[in-house]
Amino acid sequence: MATVEHTDGTAHGTAHAGPDTAEGGVRRRDFINVAAVSFAGVGGLATLYPLVNQMNPAADVLALASTEVDISRIQPGQAIKTIFRKQPVFIRNLTPAEIQQANAVPLGGLRDPQTLAERTRDGKANWLITMAVCTHLGCVPLGASEGENRGEYGGYFCPCHGSHYDTAARIRKGPAPTNLEVPEFQFLSDTVVKIG
């Protein structure tokens, strides 16, 4: 034990610095603080992960994120109806006359002006792929199957409220506000198209 003499002449004893002194206590306190903050951070991440993960699409939705369709059997002038993300889709192989008819329409007279080229792919203007859902109230238009009413403009006709679409699936008459929607698609080959 060491003695220290104060200015008033008295002497007091002091203890040697050891592991339980202020210096050692600060180290332990720092370790406890760091450990507590780390534990809280890990606990926070463990709590947030399920909340964030639930916002990811379900496995069945991911499986439907895209679909591949063999178009080799669709003859010019024919259309098929398929499913993409639980919604119907029209795939039509336009004839040269239908392409010419679509290209002859002045854009200024259209409610939702789009050219056929904007709705198809370069070099594949004969393949028109659209959602088969009327943009008015979501009915499925007629015109894909043989013998069905194609409306006044030779494309599709919605029997629910009388919307008429032309050969480029653009709205021409009736209450629908916009053209039939064109989903994302790409040609994987001359006979297979991937939608989505």
- Asked if 161 is an active-site residue, the reply is yes
Can you read off the two tokens belonging to residue 54? 């639930």
SS3 category, 96: helix
Q: What angle do CA 165, 142, 186 make, to 5 degrees?
A: 70
pLDDT of 61 higher than 80: no
Other C-beta atoms closer than 10 Å to the C-beta of 166 total 23
Q: Could you read off the pLDDT of 131-185 as tens digits, one per residue?
A: 999 999 989 999 998 889 999 999 999 999 999 999 999 999 999 999 999 999 9
Distance CA 97, CA 83 (A): 28
Q: Could you read off the pLDDT of 29-48 as tens digits, one per residue?
A: 777 878 778 777 777 777 77
pLDDT band (50, 70, 90) for residue 62: low
CB contact set of 104 (below 8 Å; sequence gap of 6+): none
Distance CA 86, CA 77 (A): 25
Instruction: Tell me 179's DSSP state.
Output: P
pLDDT band (50, 70, 90) for residue 58: low
> Residue 158 in contact with residue 145, Cβ under 8 Å?
no
Distance CA 178, CA 176 (A): 6
Can you read off the two tokens belonging to residue 119? 């709705």
pLDDT of 6 higher than 60: no
- Segment 43-68 mean pLDDT: 72
Active-site hit among 12, 16, 136, 161 = 161
What was the pLDDT predicted at 26? 64
pLDDT band (50, 70, 90) for residue 63: low
What was the pLDDT predicted at 29? 76
Q: Could you read off the pLDDT of 89-144 as tens digits, one per residue?
A: 999 999 999 999 999 999 998 999 999 999 999 999 999 999 999 999 989 999 99
pLDDT of 2 higher than 70: no
